[in-house]
Structure 1
Amino acid sequence: MRVIATSLLVTILVASLLLETTRTDAQVEAKRPFPIRPVHTFSIVARDPSTSELGVAVQSHWFSVGPIVAWAEAGVGAVATKSFVDPSYGKLGLDLMRAGKSAPDALKSLTAGDEGRDVRQVAMIDAQGRVDARTGKNDIQAAGHIIGKNYSVQANLMLSEKVWPAMSAAFENAKGDLAERMLVALEAAQAAGGDIRGKQSAALVVVTGKPTGQAWKDRVFDLRVDDSPEPLIELRRLVKLQRAYNHMNAGDLAVEHRDNEGALREYGAAEKLVPDNAEMIYWHAIALVNMGRVDESLPLFRRVFAMDPNWVTLTPRL
């Protein structure tokens, strides 16, 4: 009887402890204004004053960082939201800027009502180049940001405080279009030590300066490296490939407008960037045939057919 009573007492005590633990966890969860796992990164939001393009770029030691952090809309603005991340800053920030608020006012409006603002890191830039950023006082160090003319760079959980100044200097001194300059800024951050945990994913988004009303046409670059030991190397490769396909698309558009010489210039520019891409060579050859320049197309067809005989099988089906 004594053994049974003791066992019963132990059971009651264990159940009581488990219940108390459950209550404590539930209470903590109810009060927690941010997720357990942070998305720590270095990033840049920027505007090109010569084209009005807007962009955001990011790298992190976190899987598939792009869909969470990087937000942009042509003619509206760009947002980077991270640290103990609340992704709604992206959509809501764009909504507020689209409604007429400046980027600084949009950011202030969102942080004012956010109990977790001290662990957020957010940057916003609008279509006029007005920019603001906020690094929460409880973000994991090293953390900080620099706001410059038409850009902001920001980082948290970095190896050192050299990261975001390196990004700022690199962006301001870089040449090329907005995508290239943002990519140079990311590379400078990594060279300065980057994320203390390492590297895993990256993303880059650039939207046109003039919105068309068709979002899919407004994205000049929309690239993500979700999981890679060298995400920036892979991102640079994808940027180059996207440039080539942008030339191909411009060539196709020129064909539609019966600008044959313009089309051939665009196709040639694409092939210079990726000379061994069978797809580009093939459609260049097809365009020549459609222009009545069959003799010029034959060397291109031979190159493609030598790469993969399936292109031979495809051709009669067109």
Structure 2
Amino acid sequence: MTFSLVARCVETGMFGVAISSSSPAVAARCSYARAGVGAVASQNVTDPTLGPMALDSMEAGKSAQQAISEIQQRGKFIEYRQVLAVDMMGRTAIHSGPNSLGIWTQANAENVASGGNMLANDDVPQAIVDTFLASSGHLGDRLLTAMRAGLAAGGEAGPVHSAGMKLVDKVSWPVADLRCDWTEDCPIEAVAMAWEVYKPQLEAYVQRALDPREAPSYGVPGDE
């Protein structure tokens, strides 16, 4: 009931996850990323413990493939799970259990991996990967461009209702964590609209956390 991608920006080292689903609040359950470590999407009859487990493995020095292998060994009901990972070197790996739902498939390359289930067709993840690799600019822009391509290639077999995008970069918290938890319209476009507003302020929000004395003004009524 989901399609997603995890990716790394070669130029900045930033990691990101973008995801969409017919289920509500998919990004709240399925998106995981840790600055300097990697990004993981855990989906298809989701087990939320698998994302942190994979990130812990990669933080301990294991590759994305080794982290996925550990999940395959330690995870419960792993035949129902689909997990994507990218590590600090840009290596990628995917586990898609044989009990993944509907049409399911995956695609990966250096710095990007995509997977989906209950898809309209098996071309969706490859379209996402190809579009990401052909794109440029800020990682957030590239993730959304790739997700739009996945939707244009067919997306889910039915309409999607939720989406999200998470970015991590240098600090211990996500520098962007944008979600649309439910809509009858396009949730990917809802996240894209939020990103258009948030992107110009991203660095300012980080600066406010690190040292508010050097932060720009808030630009709201009452701010001096």
**Normalising by the residue count of structure 1, what TM-score does the alignment of the two structures yield?**
0.65
Between Structure 1 and Structure 2, which shows a larger proportion of strand residues? 2
Between Structure 1 and Structure 2, which shows a larger proportion of helix residues? 1
Kindly name which structure, 1 or 2, has the bigger radius of gyration based on alpha carbons. 1
Quick one: which amino acid aligns to residue 225 of structure 1? C
Equivalent in the alignment of 1:150: 111
1:224 aligns with 2:179: yes
1-structure distance, mates of 2:100, 2:204 = 44
Equivalent in the alignment of 1:204: 165
Question: Matched residues, percent identical?
Answer: 30
Whose relative contact order is higher, 1 or 2, with alpha carbons under 8 Å and at least 6 apart?
Answer: 2
Q: Structure 2 vs 1, CA of residues 112 and 249 (structure 1 numbering), >3 Å: closer, same or farther?
A: closer
> Which residues in structure 2 correspond to 1:93-104 (within 5 Å)?
93-104=54-65
- Structure 1 gap segments, 5+ residues each: 1-39, 268-278, 283-310
2-structure distance, mates of 1:183, 1:102 = 26
> Which residues in structure 2 correspond to 1:100-249 (within 5 Å)?
100-208=61-169, 210=170, 212=171, 215-216=172-173, 219-229=174-184, 230-246=186-202, 248-249=204-205
- Offset from partner CA, 1:187-232 (integer Å, 9 cap, x none): 1111111111211100101111x3x4xx23xx22111110112101
> Which residues in structure 2 correspond to 1:1-318 (within 5 Å)?
40-208=1-169, 210=170, 212=171, 215-216=172-173, 219-229=174-184, 230-246=186-202, 248-249=204-205, 256-257=213-214, 280=219, 282=220, 311=221, 314=222
1-structure distance, mates of 2:55, 2:25 = 21
Cα deviation, residue 246, structure 1: 2.0
Quick one: which amino acid aligns to residue 188 of structure 2? L
- Structure 2 gap segments, 5+ residues each: none
- Offset from partner CA, 1:148-205 (integer Å, 9 cap, x none): 0111011111011121121112111112111111111111111111111211100101
Quick one: which amino acid aligns to residue 207 of structure 1? V
1-structure distance, mates of 2:211, 2:29 = 36
Q: Structure 2 vs 1, CA of residues 257 and 115 (structure 1 numbering), >3 Å: closer, same or farther?
A: closer
**Normalising by the residue count of structure 2, what TM-score does the alignment of the two structures yield?**
0.90
- Offset from partner CA, 1:270-311 (integer Å, 9 cap, x none): xxxxxxxxx63x4xxxxxxxxxxxxxxxxxxxxxxxxxxxx4
Cα deviation, residue 240, structure 1: 1.0
Cα deviation, residue 114, structure 1: 3.3
Q: Structure 2 vs 1, CA of residues 113 and 251 (structure 1 numbering), >3 Å: closer, same or farther?
A: closer
